[in-house]
Structure 1
Amino acid sequence: MSELPIRVAQACTLPTVERPARSAEWGSLFREVTAAESVGAQWGRLVFPVDSALEMRVRDLASRESSCCSFFTFQLGEGVDAAGAQTMTLDVSVPPSQSAVLDAFIAWADGVRTGRLA
């Protein structure tokens, strides 16, 4: 017996009243980003220093975000920066229909990282 695909609406289901607090959480996390880049039309990467407490924050927020915004897929990994230091990476991917959301997300992270945005 084959499984039927389950269709999930590709929209944010976070209640409007909770969105300012969630945005503040992302803004706080973006202050820890050491690099933010769009890698393609459908995925981008945020780079963080290696820190166990920070890793827990990233995991928690990414998990909560993907539960209300089903179009986001987050994958935590490891990397090395240009100076050879270990890094933590958060790859973010979306379906083609949400590429503008991803672009805005990466631009927001980079803006906070560089001080252009609060």
Structure 2
Amino acid sequence: MRNLSACTLPTAERPTRLGEFDRFFTDFVGATARPAPTRLELRLEGGDAEPVGRDLAARESACCSFFTFTFTPDPTGTVMAIEVPDRHVDVLDTLARRAETAVRARG
């Protein structure tokens, strides 16, 4: 059984993965919402947004099992939701800040 609070991504690779998230936020996220402390919603924009998001989510879930990623189509595109257990809200807070910064920079 996997430890649900584990992150097995080697420490040396974490800055690279964070950079991938930053590029994803900059290139494909048009808006963010935080309907609950444990849930971040990203409105995706662009034809490649969902496949790129799914790839990133799959790789992140493989090493950090506490993340849950879902993709929901809606009339304006796709919403990518990222959820974590209460004990990992600080990790989600970091992603949310970075996503919001990228969205603001896009204008």
Length-normalised TM-score, structure 1: 0.80
Deviations 1:41-97 (A, max 9, x none): 21110111251x2221111000000111111100011123xxxxx211101111111
**Matched-pair identity in %:** 36
Correspondences of 1:1-118 after superposition (within 5 Å): 6-31=1-26, 32-51=28-47, 53-80=48-75, 86-115=76-105
Distance 2:60 2:101 in 1: 20
Distance 1:54 1:7 in 2: 29
Higher helix share: 2
Deviations 1:17-57 (A, max 9, x none): 21122111111100121111211021110111251x22211
Give 2:67's aligned amino acid.
Answer: F
Give 1:90's aligned amino acid.
Answer: M
Unaligned runs of 5+ in 2: none
Unaligned runs of 5+ in 1: 1-5, 81-85
Distance 1:50 1:64 in 2: 21
SS across alignment from 1:70: coil
Over the residues paired in the alignment, what is the CA RMSD in angstroms? 1.7
* 6-15 or 103-112, larger mean C-alpha shift: 6-15
Give 2:44's aligned amino acid.
Answer: F
Q: Which stretches of structure 1, 4 residues or longer, exceed 6 Å deviation after superposition?
A: none
